[in-house]
Amino acid sequence: MSWITNGPLITVQVMSGLSVGMLLFLVSVGMSLIFGVTRIVNLAHGCFYMVGAYLMVTLVEIFPDQPWAFWLALLLAPLGVAILGGVIEMGLLRLIYHRDPLMQLILTFGLILVIGTLVLLAWGPDNKSVSRPDALAGSVKIFGQPFPSYYVLVLALAPMVAVALWLVFYRTRWGMLVRAATVDREMLGALGVNVAALYTQVFMFGSWLAGFGGALAAPTVAVALGMDGDVLTTAFVVVVIGGLGSFAGSFIGALLVGLLQSFGILVFPAISIVLLFALMAVVLIVRPWGLLGRPEP
Amino acid sequence: MAPARWLGLLIVVLAVAPLVLPPFFLQLLTEIAIVGLFATAFNLLMGFGGMVSFGHAAYFALGAYTAALLVKRAGVPLLLALPASPIVAAAGALLFGFFIVRLSHTYFAMLSLAFAQIVFTVIFKWKALTGGDDGLLDVWPPSMLKSPAAYYYFTLAIVGLSILALRAIVDSPFGYALKAVRENPRRARYIGIDVRRHQLAAFVISGAFSGVAGGLFAFYNGSVFPDFAYFTKSFEPLVVALLGGVQSFFGPLAGAFGFKLLEWMISRQWPVYWPLFLGTIVVLVIVLLPSGFVGLVGGRRWPARPASKA
Residue spans of the domains in chain A: they are 26-225
A92 to each of A17, A156, B274, B284, how far by Cα in Å?
A: 37, 36, 21, 9
Amino acid at position B46, single letter: M
Contact in structure between B191 and B1 (CB atoms under 8 Å):
no
Q: Which residues of A touch B292 (CB under 8 A)?
A: 103
Distance CA B248, CA B293 (A): 13
Choose the closest CB to A237 out of B114, B122, B230.
Answer: B114
| Residue A127 DSSP SS3 | coil
A269 to each of A260, A265, B62, how far by Cα in Å?
A: 12, 4, 22
Structure confidence by residue, pLDDT tens digits, A68-111: 888 999 999 999 999 999 999 999 999 888 887 778 888 898 89
Reported as a pLDDT band with limits 50, 70 and 90, residue B129 is confident
Contact in structure between A177 and A193 (CB atoms under 8 Å):
yes
**Domains in chain B: boundaries:** 21-229
CB-based contacts of B17, cutoff 8 Å, min separation 6: B25, B26, B29, B152
B5 to each of A131, B8, B10, B11, B211, how far by Cα in Å?
A: 67, 5, 8, 10, 31
Contact in structure between A114 and B284 (CB atoms under 8 Å):
no
Q: Which residues of B touch A117 (CB under 8 A)?
A: 272-273, 275-276, 279
Choose the closest CB to A103 out of B110, B115, B286.
Answer: B286
Q: Average pLDDT in the A4-21 region?
A: 81
Distance CA A47, CA A111 (A): 9
Contact in structure between A258 and A279 (CB atoms under 8 Å):
no
Structure confidence by residue, pLDDT tens digits, B54-69: 899 999 999 999 999 9
Choose the closest CB to B109 out of A92, A105, A120.
Answer: A105
Nearest CA in chain B to A42: B110
Residue A286: predicted pLDDT: 79
Q: Of B69, B38, B76, which is closest to residue B208 (Cα–Cα)?
A: B38
Structure confidence by residue, pLDDT tens digits, A23-71: 999 999 999 999 888 888 898 999 999 999 999 999 998 877 778 888 9
What is the distance in angstroms between the Cα of B21 and the nearest Cα belonging to chain A? 33
pLDDT of residue A121 exceeding 90: yes
pLDDT of residue B295 exceeding 60: no
Q: Average pLDDT in the B119-146 region?
A: 85
Lowest mean pLDDT among A216-225, B23-32, B277-286: B277-286
Residues of B with CB under 8 A from a CB of A: 52, 54, 99, 102-107, 109-111, 113-115, 117-118, 120-122, 125-126, 230-232, 235, 238, 242, 272-273, 275-276, 278-283, 286-287, 290, 292, 303
Environment class of B191 (CB within 10 Å of its CB; exposed 0-12, middle 13-18, buried 19+): exposed
Instruction: Say how many C-beta atoms besides its own lie within 10 A of residue A197's C-beta.
Output: 10
B170 versus A281: which is more confidently predicted?
Answer: B170
* pTM of the entire predicted model: 0.83
Residues of A with CB under 8 A from a CB of B: 41, 43, 92, 95-96, 99-103, 105-107, 109-114, 116-118, 120-121, 229-230, 232-233, 236-237, 240, 244, 270, 273-274, 276-277, 280-281, 284-285, 288, 296
Sign of CA dihedral B173, B177, B178, B179: positive
Q: Average pLDDT in the B168-196 region?
A: 93
CA–chain centroid gap for B210, Å, is 5
pLDDT of residue B1 exceeding 60: no
CB contact under 8 A, A240 and B110: yes
Residues in chain B: 310
